[in-house]
């Protein structure tokens, strides 16, 4: 970030920090004080809470949709055979991701131009309202073809609003965090997404265990979506009580914020953008295959009981959450590149053998493989938010993160359950999702290897 002679004393130092005219010498990594903005602990707690709840609501919805895919198929595509209906359900899941790059442009522009807080406050409001509306859609038996059409429209609105959430929350946390703990703070974002998935998994398991299939199809599947409204309102209230991040306020005070951040992103930072899209690929495919599609894979493809499938995925989620903050700490200590490359190498070596072991049908082996996959994924996902936020300078940070993250997720993340189902159907191999995930890991490994280390640098 450009510094001027009248820069406020809370500005981020780039090499030395002076206080009362005394040069304190090199600070953290010779570049930055541990807490350059002087932000209080209470403020940081509010920032963490606001960032957590928004992503929690978003991914709780995606989890419920994925985990209840079989029931949703029966409600919205009752005239299709089970395999075709399931692919149509996952196709609607994927369609909501196709609009995410557009949302990334819009939310990135708003976040870099008028502030992170404003963009995040609106994104959670739209997201929670759309999720609530899904619970109100009549079934196919009631209104015919209009049922899946309405579901499609709402999923598109969800995709648009959600595209600003993960990127904005990550940028917000990184800009508020002490310089030597940006990895740990940014790990709150994937932790919140996994917690949303965890609650979705537990609720889906509870509902399918307590209710008869007829009750689930009639009204049981609607209950989780109704919870979005109160949770979203709480998240929006917390966000409206916060100020924008110190580095963004400093940028705005110096009048350095640009009018077209997305245009500047493509003009001046296109190399970083390409690297970021590639680096996100493992997250995009891995997250949805391991934590969203897996219950369907275990029950529909391997014949595991539905409740047991949810339990196995819950184990992966608990492992993922348990390791996510440790991963953030490791990336703060060893650097983002080393941790991300280690995750990719593990996926290249172990993914296909893991799917071979899942095919044994042994529940204990399935649980152990879920623990392994959840831990490997956390090694990647716990590092990725800080890596992407640090890759771009403050004036285009929201845009760079949102565009790269949503573009990769639109092309490969939201389509992962559909592609996995299609690959199995066309190839006849139950290992197809594993090969797909391994290919994503190879591309991410190359992209990260070509990028620069960012963990020890000041926020530009």
- Domain CATH number, residue 217: 1.20.1250.20
In a domain, 13, yes or no: no
pLDDT tier, 334 (very low <50, low <70, confident <90, very high otherwise): very high
Tokens standing for residue 86: 């399931």
Give the closest residue to 294 by CA, choosing from 302, 415, 338, 356: 302
What is the rounded CA–CA span in Å between residue 168 and residue 149?
30
In a domain, 385, yes or no: yes
What is the rounded CA–CA span in Å between residue 236 and residue 206?
28
In a domain, 321, yes or no: yes
What is the rounded CA–CA span in Å between residue 311 and residue 317?
10
Are residues 57 and 131 in contact, defined by beta-carbon separation less than 8 angstroms? Answer: yes
Mean pLDDT, to the nearest integer, of 64-85? 83
Q: Which domain holds residue 328?
A: 40-450
Residue 39 is predicted with a pLDDT of: 65
pLDDT tier, 259 (very low <50, low <70, confident <90, very high otherwise): low
Tokens standing for residue 354: 């893991």
Residue 431 is predicted with a pLDDT of: 93
Q: Which residues contact residue 22 at a Cβ distance below 8 angstroms, ignoring those fewer than 6 apart?
A: none
> Could you report the per-residue pLDDT of 124-144, keeping only the tens digit for each?
888 888 889 999 999 888 999
Are residues 270 and 197 in contact, defined by beta-carbon separation less than 8 angstroms? Answer: no
pLDDT tier, 254 (very low <50, low <70, confident <90, very high otherwise): low
| Higher-pLDDT residue of 263, 290 | 290
Q: Report which DSSP code applies to 164.
A: T
Candidate from 165-174, 247-256, 266-275, 311-320 with smallest mean pLDDT = 247-256
Residue 460 is predicted with a pLDDT of: 62
In a domain, 7, yes or no: no
| Higher-pLDDT residue of 151, 17 | 151
Q: CB pairs under 8 A, 24+ apart, for 306-310?
A: 306/70, 306/208, 307/205, 307/208, 307/209, 308/363, 310/67, 310/201, 310/202, 310/204, 310/205, 310/208
| Higher-pLDDT residue of 316, 459 | 316
Mean pLDDT, to the nearest integer, of 94-105? 84
How high does pLDDT run on average in the chain? 83
pLDDT tier, 3 (very low <50, low <70, confident <90, very high otherwise): very low
| Predicted confidence (pLDDT) at residue 448 exceeds the cutoff of 90 | yes
pLDDT tier, 211 (very low <50, low <70, confident <90, very high otherwise): confident
| Predicted confidence (pLDDT) at residue 390 exceeds the cutoff of 50 | yes
In a domain, 189, yes or no: yes
Split into its structural domains, the chain has a count of 1
| pTM of the model as a whole | 0.79
pLDDT tier, 11 (very low <50, low <70, confident <90, very high otherwise): very low
In a domain, 14, yes or no: no
| Higher-pLDDT residue of 13, 455 | 455
| Predicted confidence (pLDDT) at residue 280 exceeds the cutoff of 90 | yes
Mean pLDDT, to the nearest integer, of 316-329? 89
Q: Look at the block and give the residue holding tokens 């020890």.
A: 456
In a domain, 1, yes or no: no
Residue 178 is predicted with a pLDDT of: 84
| Predicted confidence (pLDDT) at residue 67 exceeds the cutoff of 80 | no
In a domain, 10, yes or no: no
Give the closest residue to 416 by CA, choosing from 320, 327, 302, 285: 285
% of residues, the chain, pLDDT over 70: 90
């Amino acid at each position: 970030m450009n510094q001027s002679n009248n820069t406020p004393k809370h500005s981020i130092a780039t090499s030395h920090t002076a206080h009362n005219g005394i040069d304190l010498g090199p600070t953290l990594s010779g570049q930055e004080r541990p807490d350059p903005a002087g932000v209080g602990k209470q403020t940081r707690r509010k920032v963490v809470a606001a960032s957590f709840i928004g992503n929690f609501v978003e991914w709780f919805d995606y989890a419920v949709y994925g985990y209840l895919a079989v029931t949703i198929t029966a409600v919205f595509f009752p005239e299709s055979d089970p395999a075709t209906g399931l692919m149509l359900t996952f196709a609607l899941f994927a369609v909501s991701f196709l609009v995410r790059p557009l949302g990334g442009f819009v939310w990135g522009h708003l976040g870099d131009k008028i502030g992170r807080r404003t963009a995040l406050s609106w994104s959670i409001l739209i997201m929670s309202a759309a999720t609530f509306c899904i619970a109100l859609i009549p079934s196919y038996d009631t209104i015919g073809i209009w049922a899946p059409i309405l579901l499609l429209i709402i999923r598109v609105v969800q995709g648009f609003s959600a595209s600003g959430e993960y990127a904005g929350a990550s940028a917000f946390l990184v800009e508020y965090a002490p310089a030597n703990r940006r990895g740990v703070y940014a790990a709150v974002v994937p932790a919140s997404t996994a917690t949303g998935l965890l609650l979705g998994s537990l609720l889906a398991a509870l509902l399918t265990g307590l209710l008869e299939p007829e009750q689930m199809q009639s009204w049981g599947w609607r209950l989780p979506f109704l919870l979005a409204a109160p949770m979203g309102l709480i998240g929006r209230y917390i966000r409206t009580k916060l100020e924008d991040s110190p580095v963004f306020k400093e940028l705005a005070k110096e009048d350095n914020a640009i009018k077209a951040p997305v245009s500047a992103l493509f003009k001046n930072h296109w190399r970083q953008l390409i690297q970021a899209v590639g680096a996100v690929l493992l997250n995009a495919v891995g997250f949805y295959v391991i934590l969203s599609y897996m219950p369907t894979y275990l029950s529909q493809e391997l014949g595991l009981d539905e409740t047991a499938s949810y339990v196995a995925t819950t184990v992966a989620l608990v492992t993922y959450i348990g390791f996510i903050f440790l991963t953030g700490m490791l990336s703060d200590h060893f650097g983002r590149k080393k941790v991300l490359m280690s995750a990719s190498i593990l996926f290249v070596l172990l993914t296909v053998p893991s799917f071979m072991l899942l095919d044994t049908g042994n529940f204990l082996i399935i649980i152990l493989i879920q623990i392994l996959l959840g831990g490997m994924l956390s090694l990647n996902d716990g590092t990725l938010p800080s890596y992407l936020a640090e890759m771009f300078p403050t004036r285009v940070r929201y845009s760079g993160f949102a565009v790269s993250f949503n573009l990769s997720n639109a092309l490969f993340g939201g389509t992962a359950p559909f592609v996995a189902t299609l690959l199995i159907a066309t190839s006849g191999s139950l290992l197809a999702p594993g090969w797909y995930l391994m290919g994503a890991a190879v591309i991410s490994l190359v992209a990260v290897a070509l990028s620069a280390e960012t963990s020890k640098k000041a926020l530009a």
